Amino acid sequence: MTQTGQAAVERVFREEYGRLIASLVRRFGDIDIAEEAASEALVTALEKWPESGVPPNPGGWLTTTAGNRAIDRLRREKLRDKKHQAAFMDHDDTPHTPTGPVEDDRLRLLFTCCHPALASEARVALTLRLLGGLTVPEIAQAFLVPETTMGQRITRAKKKIAAAKVPYRVPEAADLPERLGGVLTVLFLVFNEGYLASGDGDPVRAELTGEAIRLARILHQLLPDEPEVTGLLAMLVLTEARREARVRNGQLVPLGEQDRAGWDHAFIAEGHDLVRECLAINRPGRYQMLAAINAVHTDAPSAADTDWSQVVALYDQLTRLDASPIVALNRAVAVAELDGPSVGLALVDRLPLEGYHAWHATRADLLRRLGRTVEAKEAYDAAMTATQNSAEIAYLGRKRGELV
């Protein structure tokens, strides 16, 4: 098989992964069976598709193949009667059980995995793995922890679900608010991984950003009076509006250099309307603040017209809700635009983010603007070492090469 053929199969599989896992978990009620069957379906696709071609309905093909592999496993293991009977079903044509308030398979699985029996970080990590199809290294990068730590966390979450017999039932309406925070975090991280992928594959993964937005829209319909849901959707569409302008000739294009004519103005209008919905409810939250910051950026006709004082003020409000170093880093970038690079650099240097590529990239840019060339080169080198995203590496390499 050529590398191109394998990459095409893997891309389709990645796009279909969340849908496939959700349908298998609903049908067989077991995470391990779902993941093993999905992996076996991928192996079969890698063997057959390069010769026969990608089928017209690759998602349906993968679902059927994975379902057959799961049935084969159930036959082999001869599980308890209920599952053993399921092993002899050639087709999953039984009526669906009532779905309750959440109709979408993937959103239902997302809420199910965000069960209170699991620790908060375990819920997020597990659902990123199952629904986002993210690898353990990608999830570890999102949490800024070692891969081994993240792998153990996901394994423990699966064992806890099995040991506690957490049911794969549809959450009742009363369960939704308690699980909402974890669901919003998952959608946010899935979107971020698609918007700037941490792996060495495609620099932007549109299937992940699109899936996060799709699920956020369903969630907004389900809970229209929850301002943080509205805020998350607003932030996602306002950020997605800039996606086509973010990579040019294989290089990342930072916000200040983007061609704003290439932004999706329908998304921007939708996002601004959603921000106004949040303002009308007047119960500020983290995602609403992030949406408002994006609204300021997308409202400016050019980078020079950005109201940086308003951006800093919004980050000040966000810091009171989320005092994380990542928020502080983004605030420092805005402060540098308002008060100068030396002020911004002083703020950045206080942050414990030496393992985070964006911290090094921010330092590199500020040092460059201050004329501290030797230090800027070192920071660019550290930033390129800390990321695997090809578009980001290309951009950082170009900026470093411009230093004399």
* 123 pLDDT higher than 50: yes
End position of a domain, from candidates 223, 256, 275:
223
Backbone angles phi, psi at 16, to 5 degrees: -95, -5
pLDDT band at residue 130 under the 50/70/90 scheme:
confident
153/185 same-domain check: yes
pLDDT in tens, 341-362: 999 999 999 999 999 999 999 9
134/59 same-domain check: no
Could you give the C-alpha distances from 364 to 44, 339, 397, 404, in angstroms and in order?
Answer: 46, 18, 11, 14
| CATH code, domain carrying 312 | 1.25.40.10
Burial label, 163 (beta-carbon count in 10 A; 0-12, 13-18, 19+): exposed
Domain membership flag for residue 245: no
Name the CA dihedral angle for 114, 117, 121, 123, rounded to a multiple of 10 degrees. -30
Please indicate whether residue 63 or residue 230 has the higher confidence score (pLDDT).
230
| Domain count within the chain | 3
Compute the average pLDDT of residues 167-173: 65
The SS3 of residue 147 is helix
pLDDT in tens, 361-404: 999 999 999 999 999 999 999 999 999 889 999 999 999 999 98
370 lies in which domain range?
307-401
End position of a domain, from candidates 223, 247, 263:
223
* 91 pLDDT higher than 60: no
44/125 same-domain check: no
pTM over 0.85: no
81/109 same-domain check: no
pLDDT in tens, 308-317: 999 999 999 9
* 337 pLDDT higher than 80: yes
| Confidence at residue 94, expressed as pLDDT on a 0 to 100 scale | 40
83/121 same-domain check: no
- Highest mean pLDDT (candidates 78-87, 90-99, 103-112, 273-282): 273-282
* Cβ neighbours of 136 (radius 10 Å): 19
* Cβ neighbours of 123 (radius 10 Å): 23
Compute the average pLDDT of residues 243-251: 91
Q: What percent of the chain has pLDDT above 90? A: 46
pLDDT band at residue 170 under the 50/70/90 scheme:
low
Please indicate whether residue 378 or residue 187 has the higher confidence score (pLDDT).
378
119/181 same-domain check: yes
Q: What percent of the chain has pLDDT above 70? A: 89
Domain membership flag for residue 282: no
End position of a domain, from candidates 223, 252, 270:
223
pLDDT in tens, 16-55: 888 888 888 888 878 888 889 988 988 888 888 888 888 8
173/204 same-domain check: yes
| Confidence at residue 87, expressed as pLDDT on a 0 to 100 scale | 47
68/172 same-domain check: no
Domain membership flag for residue 359: yes
138/46 same-domain check: no
Domain membership flag for residue 83: yes
209/113 same-domain check: yes
Domain membership flag for residue 7: yes
